[in-house]
Amino acid sequence: MFKTKCLVTVLALTGSMSVMAQALPTKAPAPADNPTTKEKVELGKMLYHDPRLSSSGTVSCASCHNTMLGGDDNRGGSVGVGGQVGGRSAPTVWNAAFNKVQFWDGRAASLEEQAAGPVTNPIEMGMKSWDDVVARLEKIDGYQKAFSKVFGKDSISKDNATKAIAAYERTLITPNSPYDKYVKGKKSAMTAQQVRGMKKAVELGCTGCHSGPAFNGAGTFQKFPTIKNGYFEAQYDLSDDKGLAEVTGKEDDENYWKVPTLRNIALTAPYFHNGKVKTLDRAVQLMAKLQLGVDLEDNDIEDIVAFLHALTGEFPKQEMPKLPGLDDKTFN
């Protein structure tokens, strides 16, 4: 994990534009030990949408990362088993394959590692252990057959389940946004206001952190808020959660966060790690003030918000899987 301590990498306008002008790839790279196959993706889709991976049988991965929406749940804190509410806003699963690290605090280095966490988190899906998950899946003939088809006989395991979920998540890519079409040469794909907003974002230095095709940095962490402001702190409690420091235990890492993607951000309110900022225009205003020390004019905020809408891509059609039944048995 790479963490930059600078306020923002300020680039020259022309240089920033060249760095920024990258369309989103239509395919995500897979690790050597988990190649993407059609059968593995289908198995992963089943597991991703199956609430039986939770202790109550009511919460699936899709409950908080809904592929029928913007890949999140539009809540400040996601609701897990027993109606428990988490302390962070669910990041979008769309384009998560292009993140260098996963979770707000970057504690998972891969999609496979990320997929393992929520299942045994007591607030999220609440299973006591992955051994219990495996035992539950082994009772279902349909999963026995699906795992055998992908991984071989008697292959139901934590490792293979998370590999399948990660393989499915690598297909969740939203290319061909107005911005993508614009940088490929179709200058009419973005409005004049969106182009102004793009140039303003570059001029301010926003792309020093939100860089690359996914506008999520190169696996970098940034302190947020960088500039203390008692007025906004009282409204939004932005510094209460210590972020990366919760993982490392280091005081120097307090309030550092993985740089999130700006792709489809118009669909993923509320904003920031604690989901306490309800609207995109307010989020833009706060980022300028707390990260860059800039008080934006209303017209600049409107232009930047218009540009962010141009980052909404095309969502591949999602057909819900038929989950395998339990055949005259119950888990209890």
Which residues are known to be catalytic? 124
7, 163 in Cβ contact below 8 A? no
Q: Return d(Cα 171, Cα 146) in angstroms, integer.
A: 19
Which candidate, 183, 246, 167, places its Cα nearest to that of 159? 167
Which candidate, 223, 232, 210, 198, places its Cα nearest to that of 305? 198
Two structure tokens written together for 158: 């934590």
Handedness of CA 94, 243, 131, 81 (dihedral sign): negative
User: How far from 230 is each of 87, 233, 234, 236, 251, CA to CA, in Å?
Assistant: 21, 5, 6, 10, 21
104, 222 in Cβ contact below 8 A? no
With a CB cutoff of 8 Å and minimum separation 6, the contacts of 266 are: 280, 305, 308, 309, 311, 312
Q: What share of the chain is helix, strand, coil (3-state, %, to 5)?
A: 45, 5, 55
Instruction: Give strand pairing partners of 223.
Output: 256
User: How far from 51 is each of 92, 113, 240, CA to CA, in Å?
Assistant: 19, 19, 31
Two structure tokens written together for 263: 């792709």
Two structure tokens written together for 189: 């794909």
With a CB cutoff of 8 Å and minimum separation 6, the contacts of 226 are: 7, 290, 291
Count CB atoms within 10 A of the CB of residue 173: 22
